[in-house]
Each structure stands twice: as C-alpha cells, then as structure tokens.
Amino acid sequence: MSDADPSHDSEPSLDAGFDNYRSLANPNIRIIVAKNVVPPFRFKAGGWELLHSSTEPGLAIKARIAGRGFFLFRVNEDESGGSELTDFPSQGGLVE
C-alpha cells in the first residue's frame, strides 16, 4: 500500500519555482516552465538556452503554466514588451 499520488510524478509542483528559456533558433521566442521541467518544442526551437532560473512570473502567467504546462511568448525586438504565443512559430511567420 502506497500513499503516493500517481499524478505527482507527471505534474511538477509550481511551488518549486519557474525557469525562463530562450529559443536558440529565434532568440525573441521565450518560454517559462516549472523548475526542472524540460520545455516543449525542443526541435522547433532549435534547443533552449536557460536565461533565468527561479524566475517569478505573475499570477496570470502562473495560471497559464498550470493549465498548459508552459507560457510561450515573443519578445519585441526592442525588448519593450511581448505577446503570448499559442504554438511555436513556423519558419514562415508567427502563430499567435
């Protein structure tokens, strides 16, 4: 008999913190995931570079990560802001 929750291994704790990564193929594409989680879209991104460990996103971003497992976004060229992405952009353009 085990008291272990079977979903515990498949769902990382959001209390552990978050990591922020940059796409190697397109440095303006960033993703935030729960700490120690491998970001999705690895091949589309050309790999991910860790920018900040233990990032602390706002409540809305945490909610997205809790629901989808990640928060994917594009940073403006001048880094003045950005926009959320629903999927990794294709080679020909951005999907928003």
d(C-alpha 17, C-alpha 78), whole Å:
27
Contacts of 70 (CB under 8 A, 6+ apart): 31, 32, 33, 39, 40, 64
Question: Model confidence over 15-61: pLDDT tens digits?
Answer: 778 999 999 999 999 999 999 899 999 999 999 999 988 888 999 99
Cβ atoms 33, 70 nearer than 8 A: yes
pLDDT band for 13, please (50, 70, 90 cuts). Answer: low
Kindly give, in sequence order, each residue whose CB lies less than 8 Å from that of residue 83, ignoring residues fewer than 6 positions away.
73, 74, 96
In the block, residue with structure tokens 């209390």 = 15
The 10 Å Cβ neighbour count of residue 82 is 13
- Poorest-pLDDT segment among 5-14, 15-24, 50-59, 84-93: 5-14
Q: Give the count of domains, the chain.
A: 1
Decide if 28 is inside a domain. yes
Question: What mean pLDDT is predicted for residues 4-9?
Answer: 42
Six-digit token string for 25: 């193929």
Range of the domain at 79: 19-85
25 falls within a domain = yes
75 pLDDT band, cuts 50/70/90, is very high
For residues 13 and 61, the model is more confident at 61
Q: Which pLDDT belongs to residue 59? A: 93
